[in-house]
Amino acid sequence: MNALTPFRPCPACDTPDVTNMAQFAHDTWKIGKCKLCDFVFLRNPTEYEALEEDFAWEETFWAEDAERKKKRGILKRAAYHARMLGYRLKGDPQNKYVKLLGAGKILDIGCGEVVRWTAPFEPYGIEISKHLHARADAKMKALGGECFQGAGAERIFTLPENHFDSVMMHSYLEHEVQYRELLAGCFRCLKPGGRAFIRVPNFNSLNRRLVGAKWPGFRYPDHVNYFTQQTLRTAAQEAGFEFKLTNKAKIWLDDNIQALLTKPAVT
């Protein structure tokens, strides 16, 4: 078992002045809120090395998912199945992302073993879990791409500048301790005019306010950042991106924030 890191300062503004949110603590995991910029985050995340194996996503997700299923009542189970049916009825989700991002080289950060992209995309990825990386790499190479193993915020700076047409961060940025560095790396490796899609849990959602510590957006120790619309916008703009919500109409109800980031054509 990897030792926990000491309490970190605010990852958004680096101040050590943080309020402990005891109501959201879970076992040894502590949630804090920055007194200066209001960013909410896991104060004692694990080291990257532990996420490669000991706390790898495939080691933690299914155990927690099974535990949550036990706690769901009849209405929540019905809502879950209705949501899954809705996803299937929408058809191939790739069509949505072709419209949002355009074709070409797509870099899927935190891709796991799943390769979601076929032509007109050329799939690339970054995955920290050694086990999942090996599977994704074989699949992506068969499609003309490649998967790179390592921590996203570090590995991305080994990739070529102005190289990718798009970046996918679907349910990823909430996992990244160095999320500001990761966004800077995305800006660096995207071509001018390139786009990135982000989906993260919405800490300001109505559901989170109603159910508190039972909110499904809390995952320990996987989720280390808890974004609001404003904190995500600030992070994207500080990295140089233009920011646009894609679920603006229902953002206050949605448990997730979905946003499109664009690198200006002239930088």
For the stretch 169-222, pLDDT in tens is 999 999 999 999 999 999 999 999 999 999 999 999 999 999 999 999 999 999
- What confidence category does residue 87 fall into, taking pLDDT thresholds of 50, 70 and 90? very low
For residue 19, list its beta bridge partners. Answer: 33
Confidence of residue 3 (pLDDT cuts 50, 70, 90): very low
Q: Tell me the pLDDT tens digit for each residue of 145-154.
A: 999 999 999 9
Ranges assigned E (strand) in the chain: 18-20, 31-34, 40-42, 104-109, 121-127, 146-149, 164-170, 190-201, 225-226, 242-245, 256-262
Number of CB atoms found within 10 A of residue 67's CB: 9
The average pLDDT across 5-32 equals 94
Q: What's the pLDDT tens digit per position in 48-86?
A: 666 555 554 555 544 555 555 555 566 555 555 444 454
38-50 pLDDT, tens per residue? 999 999 998 866 6
Domains of the chain as residue ranges with CATH:
18-262 (3.40.50.150)
